[in-house]
Amino acid sequence: MSNLTITVDEEVLRKARIRALERGSSVNAVLRELLEAYAGVRDSQAAAAADLIALSKKSRSRRGGRRWTRDELYDRS
């Protein structure tokens, strides 16, 4: 990960820190999320997740096309 230095008015930063704390976050995390959205990173992640879900729905077990049962998946023997 890269570091980024920005210049922000002190009062703006103070208010941003308070708002982030109220939401259980940090200014760093908020800015990272905004930059990811701005750069379209989330769109590509969402597309990759959708592709993975589509592939998983098409997949079949090697047992004649029958789907695995929960018990078979979690068999500990």
What is the band of 77 on the pLDDT scale with cuts at 50, 70, 90? low
What is d(CA 19, CA 23) in angstroms, rounded to the nearest whole number?
Answer: 6
- The whole domain housing 1 covers 1-58
Q: Which of 41, 1, 6 is nearest to 27 (CA)?
A: 6
Contact at 8 Å (CB) between 20 and 29? yes
Q: Is residue 76 part of a domain?
A: no
Tens of pLDDT, residue by residue over 6-36, are: 999 999 999 999 999 999 999 999 999 899 8
Q: Is residue 64 part of a domain?
A: no
Tens of pLDDT, residue by residue over 53-73, are: 888 777 765 656 677 788 878
List C-alpha distances in Å: 24 to 10, 11, 19, 21, 47. Answer: 21, 20, 9, 5, 28
Contact at 8 Å (CB) between 30 and 20? yes
When comparing pLDDT for 27 and 43, which is higher?
27
Q: Is residue 68 part of a domain?
A: no
Q: Is residue 75 part of a domain?
A: no
Q: Is residue 16 part of a domain?
A: yes
**How many structural domains comprise the chain?**
1
